[in-house]
Amino acid sequence: MIELSYSGTFETVLTDEKKAALQEIHANLINKQGQGSEFLGWLDWPSSVSPEFLRRIQNAAESIQQKAEVLVVIGIGGSYLGAKAALSSLSPYFDQGDKKPEVLFAGHHVSGEYLKQLLSYLDGKEVMVNVISKSGKTTEPALAFRFLKKYMDERYGDAAAERIIVTTDAEKGALVNLAIENGYERFVVPEDVGGRYSVFTAVGLLPIAAAGFSIEQLMAGAKDAEAAYKDFDAENNAALRYAAARHHLYSEGYTTEVMAIFEPKLSYIQEWWKQLFGESEGKEGKGIFPASVSFTTDLHSMGQYIQDGTRNLFESFLLVRESNDDLTVFEAENDGDELNYLAGITLQEFNHVAYKGTSAAHLEGGVPQLTLTIEKMDEFHLGHLFYFYMIACAYSAYLLDINPFDQPGVEDYKNNIFKLLKKPGY
């Protein structure tokens, strides 16, 4: 469960008017109505996903684990960030030595230096590729796959087909045709689930399972969240309350939300969250700008701005109560570094004190705050958290009268690039 607190009072936020608006939004969501409702497949996906589907993913993951030392996952945006966030936040910081396969990403930018060095890194290792693109035509992953496909064909010949798995639309796009022509194993991205809401489909589940994490637990967490946020309960529904508070702050002129963490491995959850909220809400001249900081690191850089800069920021802390590992500060004989006053406290406890001190200072500086706490970082709690943010994002966008599920603005830059590169038809 998510524990949510707010530096103001929820009574001020949840006015009768706001509650009525949220009630209507909630009813529309549950009845799958409203703007963009054709993309609400993610809403009851956790409770409707079949055990056979999960078994199929698990079988593919086990086959990857047997055959590959390195799995290259190709994708961008929603076809990249969910898996990346899960892998970063669930994995230990340093390689444990026996981890197989190593999961590497490609196609999430266009660095020739990165791709060339990745291809050299693969030499001498057993490789598999999972290329993910719902539309099947996004330039960055398509380009990366062009290079990876050639590499795999040259290295494995006909056997390359057994080492490439495609996750894409059932029918549309160049990728599905490539998959059929070459006989690659295929997973389908459901029509009614958009990229940034797709972490619980094969898009996220296959790389997460291949990396050795429990997709059963991840989905159990998502299902738990689906049940928790199904009822309109303005007193207890944390997703609804989070959306209501951020909408209230936005209307008071707080146009930037800074998500702050104290555990660096959560930084890709921040990236995933930034995409989710930025791409869902930032339309029609409206929306909160999602930004992120990692404390205490950024207290030595961005902390100054947060404390004293332009007053349009609010913070949302994401805290994890239990850490997976910890150290206790010990008493040093001569106290040369003058840290003996800390003896006996764990670094996690230190971070908690840092949160309290930072939160008080920033509040004093005029930065309102929301704090979300989860019990621990494991598959179950992560599944719950992903779902929490997705439904909170839908509430938030609808409160601004925005369709959360389209992204008309991302086409403009693409069209310019295509024109500059003289792509046929542009």
Q: Is 130 in the site for ligand PA5 (CB under 6 A)?
A: no
Smallest distance, ligand PA5 to C-beta of residue 347, A: 36
Spatial distance between the Cα atoms of 111 and 121, rounded to a whole number of angstroms: 15
Q: Is 257 in the site for ligand PA5 (CB under 6 A)?
A: no
Report in angstroms the alpha-carbon separations of 224 from 41, 51, 230, 241.
Answer: 17, 16, 10, 18
What residues from 275 to 314 belong to the interface with ligand PA5 (CB under 6 A)?
A: 279
Q: Is 407 in the site for ligand PA5 (CB under 6 A)?
A: yes
**Complex with ligand PA5: residue 242 or 277, whichever CB lies closer:** 277
**Complex with ligand PA5: residue 228 or 394, whichever CB lies closer:** 394
| Annotated active-site residue in 140, 257, 263, 279 | 279
Q: In a 3-state reduction of DSSP, which class is residue 102?
A: strand
What residues from 77 to 106 belong to the interface with ligand PA5 (CB under 6 A)?
A: 77-79
- To the query of whether residue 235 is one of the catalytic residues in this protein, the response is no
- To the query of whether residue 279 is one of the catalytic residues in this protein, the response is yes
Q: Are strands 289-294 and 185-188 parallel, antiparallel or unpaired?
A: unpaired
Report in angstroms the alpha-carbon separations of 26 from 34, 226, 229, 283, 299.
Answer: 10, 13, 10, 21, 38
Q: Is 194 in the site for ligand PA5 (CB under 6 A)?
A: yes
Positive/negative CA dihedral, 237, 242, 245, 251: negative
- To the query of whether residue 26 is one of the catalytic residues in this protein, the response is no
- Only segment of 1-9, 117-125, 191-199, 308-316 that touches ligand PA5 (CB under 6 A): 191-199
Among candidate residues 386, 398, 190, the one with its CA nearest the CA of residue 280: 398
Q: In a 3-state reduction of DSSP, which class is residue 223?
A: helix
Q: Is 403 in the site for ligand PA5 (CB under 6 A)?
A: no
How many Cα atoms sit within 13 Å of 317 on the Cβ side?
30
User: Is the omega angle on the peptide bond into residue 368 within 30 degrees of 0, that is, cis?
Assistant: no
Smallest distance, ligand PA5 to C-beta of residue 172, A: 10
**Complex with ligand PA5: residue 89 or 138, whichever CB lies closer:** 138
Smallest distance, ligand PA5 to C-beta of residue 175, A: 9
CB proximity list for 221: less than 8 A, separation 6 or greater:
379, 380, 381, 382, 383, 384, 385, 387
| Annotated active-site residue in 150, 356, 376, 414 | 414
Q: Which amino acid is at 251?
A: S
Spatial distance between the Cα atoms of 290 and 390, rounded to a whole number of angstroms: 14
Q: How many of the chain's residues bind ligand PA5 (CB under 6 A)?
A: 14
Both tokens of 288, joined, read 């909160």
| Annotated active-site residue in 235, 300, 338, 411 | 300
Smallest distance, ligand PA5 to C-beta of residue 35, A: 16
Q: Is 195 in the site for ligand PA5 (CB under 6 A)?
A: yes
Smallest distance, ligand PA5 to C-beta of residue 323, A: 31
Q: Is 76 in the site for ligand PA5 (CB under 6 A)?
A: yes
Spatial distance between the Cα atoms of 30 and 332, rounded to a whole number of angstroms: 59
Q: Using the rule CB under 6 A, which residue among 7, 135, 255, 373 binds ligand PA5? A: 135
- Only segment of 39-47, 61-69, 158-166, 190-198 that touches ligand PA5 (CB under 6 A): 190-198
Contact residues: ligand PA5, CB under 6 A: 76-79, 133-135, 138, 141, 194-196, 279, 407
Active site residues: 279, 300, 414
